[in-house]
Amino acid sequence: MTERLPPLLLVGGGRMGSAMLAGWREEGLSPSVVVDPAPAATSLASPEVTVIADTSALPHGFAPHAVIFAVKPQNAGSVLPHYARFAGRAVFLSIMAGKLIAGMRELLGSGAAVVRAMPNTPAAVRRGVTVATKGGNVSESQAGLCDRLLSAIGKVAWVEDEALLDAVTAVSGSGPAYVFLLAELMEESAAAEGLPPDLARLLARGTVAGSGALLDASPDSSAALRKTVTSPGGTTERALRVLMADTAWPLLVRQAIAAATERSRELAS
């Protein structure tokens, strides 16, 4: 039987925070605390999870093994110093986009053990993908705990170079929006060709979701899978001539990823 997760302190019970918490509950969770002032956050309470509005209500003697920051990055300056008391005892796991490890250690103390991660929204159905990197003060056991916490919501990869998280944010962090846009445009185009709206939605969403599942299950490359659908002289080949033109998807996707990467760098500066 898998050992229960140790006590955790989750700061922020929004969409991503609550998705992570749900995954940890499935793993088996020791008594833990969520800090979130929003009235809706009380719905996260359970026998093993206490929800409080601010740190003044932390249970006496509560000693989390990890403090997880799932708050908006612009609030880091006012939020993080309240948790500096746990430096040297707990590992800090941040999913705040654009907040550098060095900047967080300035707020938490130079001795703070900080792991920075970028998950994405499919974490809500335990199909997320997260890339993480750790600061110099993080022990092997602390990194292992963070890996387990992130694995509860999907796949995890680690990098040594923190600067790579800018491109990670552009590809996987923002990536679900690109896929949702594809489904949206397919649905609109199907309706424009005369299909009933309900059928257009069914076809667009089902095709995107099913193709993603096939891609995940197949050992073949994305290019190889594309070619298996493309019969010479057929309808798919005709469509791909439009989408794969030099000024179409190849150029636009590169530009979109580059723009998102640059924005991530701006947020970190």
Tell me the average pLDDT across 247-256.
97
Residue 64: the pLDDT is 98
* Dihedral sign of CA atoms 166, 170, 172, 174 in order: positive
Beta bridge partners of 148: none
Q: What is the mean pLDDT of the chain?
A: 96
Question: Which own/partner contact pairs does 222-228 have at CB distance under 8 Å and 24+ positions apart?
Answer: none
Q: How many angstroms separate the CA atoms of 91 and 65, rounded?
A: 7
Can you tell me the distance from the alpha carbon of 131 to that of 150, in angstroms, rounded to the nearest whole number? 9
User: Does residue 1 register a pLDDT over 60?
Assistant: no
Beta-carbon count within 10 A of 55 CB: 14
- Position 19 scores a pLDDT of 96
Residue intervals of the chain classified under CATH 3.40.50.720 are 8-165
Whether the CA torsion 199, 205, 209, 212 is positive or negative: it is positive
Average pLDDT over residues 190-215: 98
Q: DSSP strand E in the chain: where? A: 8-11, 32-35, 49-52, 66-69, 91-94, 113-118, 128-134, 154-158
pLDDT digits 0-9 by tens, 146-176: 999 999 999 999 999 999 999 999 999 999 9
Spatial CA neighbour of 111 closest among 81, 141, 135, 142: 135
Tens of pLDDT, residue by residue over 31-53, are: 999 999 999 999 999 999 999 99
pTM above 0.85, yes or no: yes
Q: Give Cα separations from 155 to 54, 65, 74, 149 (angstroms).
A: 31, 22, 27, 11
**Virtual torsion, Cα 91, 115, 31, 120, nearest 10 deg:** 170
* pLDDT surpasses 70 at 63: yes
pLDDT confidence of residue 54: 93
The confidence score (pLDDT) of residue 183 equals 98
Closest to 120 in 3D by CA, of 145, 155, 159: 155
Q: What is the pLDDT of residue 268?
A: 81
Under 8 Å between Cβ of 153 and 130:
yes
| Start and end residues for every CATH 1.10.3730.10 domain found in the chain | 175-268
Cβ neighbour number for residue 244 with a 10 Å cutoff: 11
Fold (CATH) for 8-165 = Rossmann fold (3.40.50)
CATH entry, 175-268, from 1.10.3730.10, 1.10.10.10, 1.10.357.10, 3.40.33.10: 1.10.3730.10
pLDDT at residue 90, as a whole number: 97
What is the rounded average pLDDT of the residues 60-71? 96
Residue 261 is predicted with a pLDDT of 95
